Structure 1
Amino acid sequence: MNSIETNVADLVEVGISAQVAHPELSKGVYKPTKHGENIVPIGMGGIVYNVGIG
């Protein structure tokens, strides 16, 4: 059986520290529709990188 070639020896090891921030609704986030219903529009989300030294 042939072995699979890998690049394990060439990989860089990275350590990270993370904190989960749950999304919150602010006041006035509801938008009325033309039918008189209130909806919460789709917002932006993602990962924020915050780097500190020391």
Structure 2
Amino acid sequence: MAVYEIKMRRCKVKMRRYKMKMRKCKVKMAVYEIKRTKRIVRPRLHPASEGNRPLKVLEL
């Protein structure tokens, strides 16, 4: 089962990277929205991710 476990681990790592990328993308989009509308759009981020860097970026 070792091979299976290794594959699973790789998949998890990939998923983590993908999620991080998506989060960055969301932040970028939110910033873009703010710039376009010239007013602060409250980011719809997960409550668990409060206090993360993205929130600070968005609270211009």
Could you state the TM-score of these two structures normalised by the residue count of structure 2? 0.18
CA radius of gyration, larger in = 1
Could you state the TM-score of these two structures normalised by the residue count of structure 1? 0.19
Higher percent of residues as strand:
1
Higher percent of residues as helix:
2
